[in-house]
């Protein structure tokens, strides 16, 4: 039983208010009244305009670009809730920025994902709910509970509706093999991998395809695309290897201008993504945005009612 007065309160920063509203619709709760603005000098100003003493507070804020601005908003919202005596504060971070800086891959570089985890705890977060971390081990950077959900059930449901025959799931790099394997199992498809070489932070070169894609429909899956370099170069190579129609499915689309330019010219017929971040659309790019409000809303509901969230961790959780 949830103790008396510990009602759910959902608040949103300015990063993705639309997603917060969709989550509120799913859990049948109003969006909390909070002002998030800036002082003339650029400092973030936050004021929570309702009583949250003893309440179970959820703050929805993906840390997408402008990443540092959105992070500071999240820290300040958490601090405001803590100082207003909230019973529990859950940071709902659909897209976790800095996740790619999760290890020392060169001398004298930081592990910024760990720093962000420390700052969230220091600000006063009691729990984190997130979606498709770039590296799952980031969960271990936190000394508080982390519920890590997947967008795959939402994407898989949509892909099934397309009824693509002779389907191959392709990982556009070796690092995404585990994710691609889970998609292939759920879709009853075969598996292939594109071996690539990174030439610069914005440019990759696809080298070869491991697996049979000749005359088959292809769905490339990845957790994140920013410049679309990996996906578009892989698609070009897949066409050379005889692939038929090429689709791409990514959990987080943090598009830059160069991404749209590449997608316009690419062999990718449709890019399927989620609203974990606000997606910049382009009239000449076929981009389908699916909502993960249901997944996050169900996660919030189960945390609030002290039910198990573990069944939501399964990629194959949504079969219909």
What is d(CA 156, CA 318) in angstroms, rounded to the nearest whole number?
8
What does the pLDDT read at residue 176?
A: 86
Active site residue 162: no
What is the model's pLDDT at position 19? 98
Return the pLDDT at 174.
81
Report pLDDT for 135.
Answer: 83
**Selection from 111-125, 165-179, 206-220 with the highest mean pLDDT:** 111-125
Residues 198-234: tens digit of each pLDDT:
666 666 666 889 999 999 999 999 999 999 988 999 9
User: Using one digit for the tens of pLDDT, what is the confidence trace for 276-290?
Assistant: 999 999 888 999 999
Using omega within 30 degrees of 0 as the cis cutoff, is the peptide bond preceding 292 cis? no
Give the CATH number of domain 152-290; options: 3.40.50.2020, 3.60.15.10, 3.20.20.60, 3.40.190.10: 3.40.50.2020
**Least confident interval from 2-6, 77-81, 315-319:** 315-319
Q: What is the Cα–Cα distance from 123 to 155, expressed in whole angstroms?
A: 34
The angle that helices 17-27 and 293-304 make with each other, rounded to 10 degrees, is 60
233-268 per-position pLDDT tens digit: 999 999 999 999 999 999 999 998 899 999 999 999
- pLDDT confidence of residue 206: 64
What is the model's pLDDT at position 320?
A: 38
**Which pLDDT value is given to residue 317?**
47
Q: Which residues of 162-199 are buried (b: 16+ CB within 10 A; e: fewer)?
A: eebeebbbbbbbeebeebbbbbbebbebebbbbbbeee
List phi, psi (to 5°) of 240.
-65, -30
φ/ψ (deg, to 5) at 242: 95, 15
**Does the bond joining 66 to the residue before it have cis omega, within 30 degrees of 0?**
yes
Arithmetic mean of pLDDT, 163-190: 92
* The token pair that represents 122 in the structure block: 């220091």
Average pLDDT estimate for 162-187: 92
Whole-number average pLDDT of the chain: 92
| 117 C-beta neighbours (distance < 10 Å), count | 23
* 85/148 Cα distance (integer angstroms): 26
Q: What is the reported pLDDT for 199?
A: 67
Report the candidate in 299, 280, 302, 298 with the shortest Cα–Cα distance to residue 289. Answer: 280
Comparing CA positions, the residue from 157, 142, 131, 163 lying closest to residue 60 is 131
Residue 3 CB coordination number (10 Å): 8
Range 27-42 average pLDDT = 96
Q: Please state which CATH class domain 8-149+293-313 belongs to.
A: alpha beta
For the beta carbon of residue 254, count every other beta carbon within 10 angstroms.
22
How many Å apart are CA 104 and CA 107, to the nearest integer? 7
Query: Could you identify the residue written with the tokens 């290897």?
Result: 241
pLDDT digits (tens, 9 = 90+) for 285-307: 999 999 999 999 999 999 999 99
Q: Which of 9, 196, 216, 244 is catalytic?
A: 196
Q: Do domains 8-149+293-313 and 152-290 have the same CATH topology?
A: yes
pLDDT range class, residue 319, cuts 50, 70, 90: very low
DSSP 8-state class, residue 173: S
Alpha-carbon gap, residue 127 to 88, rounded angstroms: 8
Model confidence pTM above 0.85:
yes
Q: What share of the chain is helix, strand, coil (3-state, %, to 5)?
A: 35, 30, 40
Domain ranges of the chain: 8-149+293-313, 152-290
Whole-number Å distance between alpha carbons of 47 and 32: 11
Whether 78 and 120 have beta carbons less than 8 Å apart is answered as yes
What's the whole-number mean pLDDT along residues 135-146? 91
Residue 256: predicted pLDDT: 87
The answer, yes or no, to whether residue 196 has pLDDT greater than 50, is yes
DSSP 8-state code for residue 312: G
Q: Does the pLDDT value for residue 20 go beyond 70?
A: yes
What does the pLDDT read at residue 5?
58
Q: Phi/psi at 285 (nearest 5 deg)?
A: -115, 130
Residue in the block written with tokens 């382009």: 282
- What's the confidence (pLDDT) of residue 318? 44
Q: How many CA atoms lie within 13 A of 6 on its CB side?
A: 12
Give the whole-number percent of the chain exceeding pLDDT 90: 81
- What is the three-class DSSP state of 153? helix
Tell me what pLDDT residue 95 has: 97
């Amino acid at each position: 039983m949830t103790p008396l007065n510990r009602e759910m309160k959902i608040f949103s920063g300015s990063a993705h208010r639309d997603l917060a509203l969709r989550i509120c619709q799913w859990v049948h709760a109003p969006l909390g009244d909070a002002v998030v603005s800036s002082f003339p000098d650029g400092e973030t100003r936050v004021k929570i305009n309702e009583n949250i003493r003893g309440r179970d507070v959820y703050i929805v804020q993906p840390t997408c670009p402008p990443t540092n601005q959105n992070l500071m908003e999240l820290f300040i919202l958490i601090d405001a809730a803590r100082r207003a005596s909230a019973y529990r504060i859950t940071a709902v971070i659909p897209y976790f920025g800095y996740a790619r800086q999760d290890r020392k891959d060169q001398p004298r570089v930081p592990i910024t994902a760990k720093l962000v985890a420390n700052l969230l705890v220091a600000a006063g977060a009691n729990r984190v709910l997130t979606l498709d971390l770039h590296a799952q081990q980031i969960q271990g950077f936190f000394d508080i509970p982390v519920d890590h959900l997947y967008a795959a059930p939402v994407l898989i449901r949509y892909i099934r509706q397309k009824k693509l025959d002779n389907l191959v799931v392709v990982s556009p790099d070796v690092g995404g093999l585990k994710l691609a394997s889970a998609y292939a199992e759920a879709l009853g498809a075969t598996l292939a991998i594109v071996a690539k070489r990174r030439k610069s932070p914005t440019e990759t070169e696809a080298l070869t395809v491991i697996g049979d894609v000749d005359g088959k429909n292809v769905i490339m899956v990845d957790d994140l695309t920013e410049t679309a370099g990996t996906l578009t170069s892989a698609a070009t190579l897949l066409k050379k290897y005889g692939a038929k129609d090429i689709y791409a499915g990514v959990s987080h689309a943090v598009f830059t201008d160069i991404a749209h330019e590449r997608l316009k010219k690419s062999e990718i017929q449709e890019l399927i993504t989620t609203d974990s971040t606000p997606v910049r659309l382009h009239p000449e790019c076929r981009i389908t945005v699916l909502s993960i409000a249901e997944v996050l809303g169900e996660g919030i509901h189960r945390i609030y009612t002290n039910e198990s969230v573990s069944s939501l961790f399964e990629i194959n959780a949504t079969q219909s």
